[in-house]
């Protein structure tokens, strides 16, 4: 027997765990090799609470239409809206129609719309109104009968968390949450009907409240049927982190403390708090963004390779790395926070945070937060992860940047490499999704002069047109029941464990430093980096 | 910008391309593949238009290969279009005289380095795509049996000539139907006894769907004829009655299930650009297509007793 040498070894066999799913009855028409046939959701109803909200209008309804347009919704798919509005089914359809026309990403087709509109119902009512929920239960059972939705319901709670207890309790009381309660006619079929509940961030504002919130939902829905949406995880680039790291051979060997100097994870926004004063004040940038988005990005960047992309394997690795996060000993030196002051942003004069409508003039809520985190693992020991987020900054941008160590020896004269920075691998999450590699290159000419250049991969150039919106992907995953992209309660709790001590320290010791709108953030954040001999990447 | 080069060489074309790119601001496009279109003057306009549209999803260099006047002296004319309709580059190559027999010598130097090559015959399929000089260059070869006068005969030829990497638009057009059929059978259903695919007379897609269902479900399939457009019905006989998907207008399908209300679902006939975009999405051999095609070729389509006096039936068992 001859041993194949390393260079000619064939591709690794596909992970069988990825192909063989659960012990569901097998549909002979579904062949794992047949990749033209997309995953299509089974028959179901989506019940949406908070249909009048911005998110529902701008993201959720258009995403549902786009899914239908791509042929990914099952025949008979139905959507039930529930809200405190005196609407008929037609009014709801009209509102949805307008939302879809304005915000859908795929071209509008009357036939697709008709298919969707046929299955739209609206139930008016308050969350504490028993009769309204009984009506809701009636409505979905009617849909089961008329449209063959099979008793499968997804409840999308696009409402503030303070209403969760009431709604969840009502779902239980009206029997909607119990798959065995509705329609005995399904008792004999191969698969029992399912119930899924979708909740949006915030998942609490600290560990305690997150647990309380979870207890409320947990009391009625089993953990595997709770889908927590972090829309960042639905983005192509974020999923591409996994492809980049684990499908390639050239990154993994340098993806560690041997080569990486530090990592910067940034989410900056150019807008202020807009109309969210009521929600934002008292929450702040760290709870709003770091706890969920940035720590999830950190987890995906830093985790070990999962044994498969099955939900459990993926979450285990994320949980492992989140549990290895260590806070700076001196929180004053290892964190920074700020509040935007009046100034000019993007060519317009804007108000400071304290002057915004509905914000108390003595508010201590931060609109900018930066932290330095260490990971106690063999791979990352000694490599700081700098996380920052803020509002009213120079521009809107989200990225993960791995900054590499400088070459240990440069066989050039010092003047030749004056312009040479650190090599970097930047995963651009938004806008202009893609990957940049930054490295030194000789400047053409007689002298040896080395300067930084960029090598770019842009989704916009290579694949973009068909890449689905994050919500499309996530809603489809909910309807199919595919959970890898949804954080589970353990991850939420681990993130709060990381953030709670920081929040507590801030509350007791510091006042956010003012930074001028349109600037890259407060001076204390720059000072925090300077103490480590590093600097933030330019926004 | 458009650059016309007459009586030229591939070297000059390459130089002109580099120069054009430089003049447009030195952008290097992330081109993901080279698409060779084998066509003629009559078909080139539509084919290039569809390819340009598909290139929005898959930025590529399009080489449209047109053979002209085989008896003339050998000559190569090129028309380069950069930075216009598509994010990639389009080169229309007109080959005169004996050069037409050596199209590969023109295409090979113009392939984008490192990325896959796809060859597409929008009109007439060659007898053996993988052996065609421009097919040899490609790892994916796309034909369209429906463009032929005798689609069934072409499909049979393609089945015998099949090499991994071959594919046919007749199969691509089946995707939406197959997807809906798979979704339909995801639900618990009574045992399927037999099935039927009803379409226009000359419809390779319907034949392939019938063959695929026969292969996967192991039930006898009837292929019946209607006035179209395209495929008008797929149904399964079960002990509870028929499960039927019918589409009479080429746009919306109705799913009828015994004991349940009818449901509507959008099921569009797709444009060439969409079909091409689907083909370019996956460049590995399509094994399911291969098996379906082989089954169609070995079992054939037999004529069966006509049940509906207006329908002409053929059966694959």
At A47-81, the pLDDT tens digits run 999 898 888 999 999 999 999 988 888 888 999 99
Rank A273-277, B26-30, B144-148 by mean pLDDT and report only the highest.
B144-148
φ, ψ at B280 (rounded to 5°): -80, -15
Question: pLDDT tens-digit profile of B70-83?
Answer: 999 999 999 999 87
Q: Residue A182 pLDDT > 80, yes or no?
A: no
| Tokens 């109803």 found at | A45
Burial of A425 (0-12, 13-18, 19+ CB in 10 A): buried
B216 CB near a chain A CB, below 8 Å? Answer: yes
* Count of C-beta atoms within a 10 Å radius of residue B282: 12
Q: Which residue of A has its CA nearest to B267?
A: A71
Residues constituting chain A: 539
What pLDDT, on a 0 to 100 scale, did the predictor assign at position A347? 86
Q: Which residues of B touch A24 (CB under 8 A)?
A: none
Share of chain A above pLDDT 70, in %: 92
What is the distance between the alpha carbons of residues B256 and B277, in angstroms, rounded to a whole number?
31
What is the distance between the alpha carbons of residues A396 and A411, in angstroms, rounded to a whole number?
39
Question: pLDDT tens-digit profile of B305-317?
Answer: 344 444 455 555 5
CB contact under 8 A, A71 and B180: yes
Mean per-residue pLDDT, B55-84 = 90
Among partner residues A27, A71, A145, which is closest to B179 by beta-carbon distance?
A: A71
Interface pTM (ipTM) of the complex?
0.84
Closest by CA position to B212, among listed B237, B177, B256, B166: B177
Closest by CA position to B4, among listed B120, B104, B90: B90
Terminal CA-CA length for chain B: 56
Question: pLDDT tens-digit profile of A228-284?
Answer: 998 888 888 888 899 999 999 999 999 999 999 999 999 999 999 887 888 889 899
Strand (E) positions, B9-116? 33-39, 60-68, 75-82, 89-96
Q: Residue A183 pLDDT > 70, yes or no?
A: no
What is the distance between the alpha carbons of residues A452 and A441, in angstroms, rounded to a whole number?
6
Closest by CA position to A238, among listed A424, A485, A448, A64: A485
Q: What stretch of H or E contains A140? A: helix A130-147
A43 CB near a chain B CB, below 8 Å? Answer: yes
User: Average pLDDT over chain A, rounded to whole?
Assistant: 88
* Pairing state between β B313-316 and B221-225: antiparallel
Contact A511, A367 (CB under 8 A): no
| Residue A323: band (very low, low, confident or very high) from pLDDT cuts 50, 70, 90 | very high
Contact A461, B30 (CB under 8 A): yes
| Alpha carbons within 13 A on the beta-carbon side of B14 | 11
What is the distance between the alpha carbons of residues B163 and B130, in angstroms, rounded to a whole number?
6
* Count of C-beta atoms within a 10 Å radius of residue A184: 9
* Count of C-beta atoms within a 10 Å radius of residue A420: 18
What pLDDT, on a 0 to 100 scale, did the predictor assign at position A181? 58
Q: Residue B19 pLDDT > 80, yes or no?
A: yes
> B67 versus A188: which is more confidently predicted?
B67
Closest by CA position to B118, among listed B161, B166, B158: B166
Using DSSP's 3-state secondary structure scheme, residue A266 falls into strand
Range name among A110-124, A457-471, B76-90, B257-271 with the lowest pLDDT average = A457-471
Q: Residue A518 pLDDT > 60, yes or no?
A: yes
| Residue A188: band (very low, low, confident or very high) from pLDDT cuts 50, 70, 90 | very low
Partners of A200 in the β-ladder: A229
Rank A233-237, A415-419, B287-291, B301-305 by mean pLDDT and report only the highest.
B287-291
| Tokens 């499968």 found at | A152
B215 CB near a chain A CB, below 8 Å? Answer: no
pTM beyond 0.90, yes or no: no
What pLDDT, on a 0 to 100 scale, did the predictor assign at position A161? 83
CB contact under 8 A, A150 and B260: no
Among partner residues A118, A148, A466, which is closest to B257 by beta-carbon distance?
A: A148
Question: pLDDT tens-digit profile of A380-402?
Answer: 999 999 999 999 999 999 999 99
CB contact under 8 A, B263 and A189: no
What pLDDT, on a 0 to 100 scale, did the predictor assign at position A23? 47
Closest by CA position to A518, among listed A367, A366, A343: A343
Q: What stretch of H or E contains A319? A: helix A311-323
Concatenate the DSSP letters of all residues of A285-317 into one string. HIIIIIIIIIHHHHHHHHPPPPSSSSHHHHHHH
Q: What stretch of H or E contains A425? A: strand A424-430
Q: Residue B117 pLDDT > 50, yes or no?
A: yes
CB contact under 8 A, A71 and B57: no
CB contact under 8 A, A37 and B251: no
CA-atom Rg of chain A in angstroms: 25
φ, ψ at A495 (rounded to 5°): -65, -40
Mean per-residue pLDDT, A113-137 = 93
CB contact under 8 A, B185 and A464: no
In angstroms, the separation between the Cα of residue A434 and the nearest Cα of chain B is 12
What pLDDT, on a 0 to 100 scale, did the predictor assign at position A525? 96
> A181 versus A173: which is more confidently predicted?
A173
What is the distance between the alpha carbons of residues B60 and B90, in angstroms, rounded to a whole number?
8
Contact B129, B166 (CB under 8 A): yes
What is the distance between the alpha carbons of residues B177 and A484, in angstroms, rounded to a whole number?
29
B188 CB near a chain A CB, below 8 Å? Answer: yes
Using DSSP's 3-state secondary structure scheme, residue A3 falls into coil
Partners of A265 in the β-ladder: A387, A400
| Tokens 């909200």 found at | A53
Among partner residues B32, B183, B286, which is closest to A74 by beta-carbon distance?
A: B183
| Residue A495: band (very low, low, confident or very high) from pLDDT cuts 50, 70, 90 | very high
Contact A379, A257 (CB under 8 A): yes
Q: Which residues of A touch B270 (CB under 8 A)?
A: none
What is the distance between the alpha carbons of residues A83 and A487, in angstroms, rounded to a whole number?
27
In angstroms, the separation between the Cα of residue B104 and the nearest Cα of chain A is 26
B283 CB near a chain A CB, below 8 Å? Answer: no
φ, ψ at B207 (rounded to 5°): -60, -40
Concatenate the DSSP letters of all residues of A76-136 into one string. T-EEEEEESS---HHHHHHHHHHHHHHH-SSPP-HHHHHHHHHTEEEEE--TT-HHHHHHH
Question: pLDDT tens-digit profile of A431-480?
Answer: 878 899 999 988 888 888 888 888 888 776 555 555 678 899 999 999 99
The CA–CA distances, whole Å, from A233 to A123, A217, A405, A477, B180 equal 31, 22, 29, 12, 28
* Count of C-beta atoms within a 10 Å radius of residue A343: 17
Q: Which residues of B touch A31 (CB under 8 A)?
A: 216, 288
Contact A326, A338 (CB under 8 A): no
């Amino acid at each position: 027997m001859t041993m194949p040498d390393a260079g000619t070894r064939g591709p690794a066999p596909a992970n069988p765990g990825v192909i063989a799913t659960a012990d569901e009855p097998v549909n002979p028409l579904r062949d794992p090799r047949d990749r033209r046939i997309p995953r299509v959701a089974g028959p179901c109803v989506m019940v949406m609470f908070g249909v009048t909200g911005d998110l529902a209008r701008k993201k959720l309804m258009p995403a549902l239409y786009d899914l239908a347009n791509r042929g990914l919704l099952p025949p008979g798919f139905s959507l039930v809206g529930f809200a405190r509005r005196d609407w008929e089914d037609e009014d709801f359809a009209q509102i949805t129609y307008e939302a879809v026309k304005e915000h859908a990403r795929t071209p509008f087709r009357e036939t697709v719309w008709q298919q969707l509109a046929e299955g739209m119902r609206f139930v008016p009512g308050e969350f504490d109104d028993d009769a309204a929920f009984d009506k809701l239960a009636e409505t979905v059972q009617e849909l089961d009968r008329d449209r063959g939705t099979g008793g499968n319901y997804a409840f999308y709670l696009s409402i503030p968390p303070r209403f969760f207890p009431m709604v969840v309790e009502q779902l239980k009381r009206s029997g909607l949450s119990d798959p065995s309660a509705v329609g005995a006619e399904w008792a004999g079929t191969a698969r029992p009907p399912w119930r899924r509940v979708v909740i949006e961030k915030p998942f609490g504002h600290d560990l305690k409240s997150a647990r309380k919130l979870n207890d409320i939902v947990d009391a009625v829905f089993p953990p595997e049927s709770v889908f927590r949406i972090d829309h960042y995880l639905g983005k192509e680039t974020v999923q591409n982190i996994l492809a980049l790291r684990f499908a390639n051979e050239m990154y993994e060997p340098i993806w560690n403390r041997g080569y990486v100097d530090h990592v910067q994870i940034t989410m900056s926004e150019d807008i202020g708090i807009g109309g969210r004063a009521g929600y934002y004040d008292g929450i702040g940038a760290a709870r709003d963004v770091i706890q969920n988005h940035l720590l999830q990005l950190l987890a995906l960047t830093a985790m070990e390779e999962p044994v498969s992309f099955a939900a459990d394997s993926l979450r285990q690795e994320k949980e492992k790395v989140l549990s290895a996060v260590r806070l700076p000993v001196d929180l004053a030196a290892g964190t920074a926070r700020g509040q935007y002051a009046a100034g000019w942003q993007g060519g317009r004069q804007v108000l400071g945070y304290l002057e915004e409508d509905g914000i108390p003039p003595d508010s201590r809520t931060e609109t900018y937060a930066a932290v330095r985190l260490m990971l106690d693992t063999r791979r990352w020991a000694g490599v700081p992860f700098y996380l920052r987020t803020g509002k009213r900054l120079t521009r809107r941008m989200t990225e993960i940047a791995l900054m590499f160590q400088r070459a240990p020896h440069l066989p050039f004269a010092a003047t030749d490499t004056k312009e040479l920075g650190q090599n970097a691998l930047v995963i651009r999450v938004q806008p202009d999704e893609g990957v940049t590699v930054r490295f030194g290159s000789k400047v053409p000419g007689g002298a040896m002069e080395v300067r930084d250049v960029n090598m770019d991969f842009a989704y916009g150039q290579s694949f973009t047109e068909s890449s689905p919106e994050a919500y499309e992907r996530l809603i489809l995953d909910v309807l199919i029941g595919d959970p890898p992209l949804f954080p589970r309660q353990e991850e939420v709790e681990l993130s709060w464990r990381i953030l709670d001590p920081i929040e507590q320290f801030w509350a007791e010791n510091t006042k956010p430093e003012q930074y001028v709108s349109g600037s890259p953030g407060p001076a204390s954040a720059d000072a925090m980096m300077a103490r480590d001999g590093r600097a933030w990447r330019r926004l | 910008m458009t650059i016309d080069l007459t009586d030229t060489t591939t070297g000059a074309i390459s130089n002109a391309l580099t120069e054009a790119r430089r003049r447009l601001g030195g952008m290097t496009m992330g081109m993901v593949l080279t698409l060779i279109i084998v066509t003629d003057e009559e078909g080139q306009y539509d084919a290039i238009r569809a390819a340009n549209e598909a290139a929005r999803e898959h930025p590529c260099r399009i080489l449209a290969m047109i053979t002209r006047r085989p008896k003339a002296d050998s000559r190569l004319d090129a028309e380069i279009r950069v930075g216009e309709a598509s994010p990639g580059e389009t080169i229309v190559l007109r080959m005169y005289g004996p050069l037409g027999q050596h199209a590969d010598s023109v295409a090979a130097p113009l392939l984008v380095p490192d990325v896959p090559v796809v060859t597409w015959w929008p009109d007439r399929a060659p007898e053996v795509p993988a052996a065609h000089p421009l097919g040899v260059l490609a790892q994916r070869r796309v034909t369209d049996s429906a463009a032929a006068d005798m689609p069934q005969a072409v499909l049979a030829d393609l089945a015998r000539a099949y090499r991994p990497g071959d594919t046919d638009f007749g199969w691509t057009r089946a995707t939406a139907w197959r997807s809906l059929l798979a979704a339909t059978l995801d639900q618990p259903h009574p045992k399927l006894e037999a099935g039927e695919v009803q379409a226009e007379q000359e419809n390779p897609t319907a034949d392939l769907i019938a063959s695929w269902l026969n292969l996967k479900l192991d039930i006898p399939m009837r292929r019946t004829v209607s006035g179209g457009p395209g495929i008008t019905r797929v149904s399964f006989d079960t002990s509870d009655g028929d499960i039927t998907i019918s589409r009479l207008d080429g746009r919306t399908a109705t799913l009828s299930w015994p004991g349940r209300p009818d449901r509507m679902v959008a099921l569009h006939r797709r444009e060439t650009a969409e079909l091409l975009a689907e083909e370019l999405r996956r460049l590995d051999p399509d094994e399911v297509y291969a098996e379906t095609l082989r089954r169609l070729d070995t079992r054939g389509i037999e004529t069966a007793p006509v049940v509906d006096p207006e329908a002409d039936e053929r059966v694959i068992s």
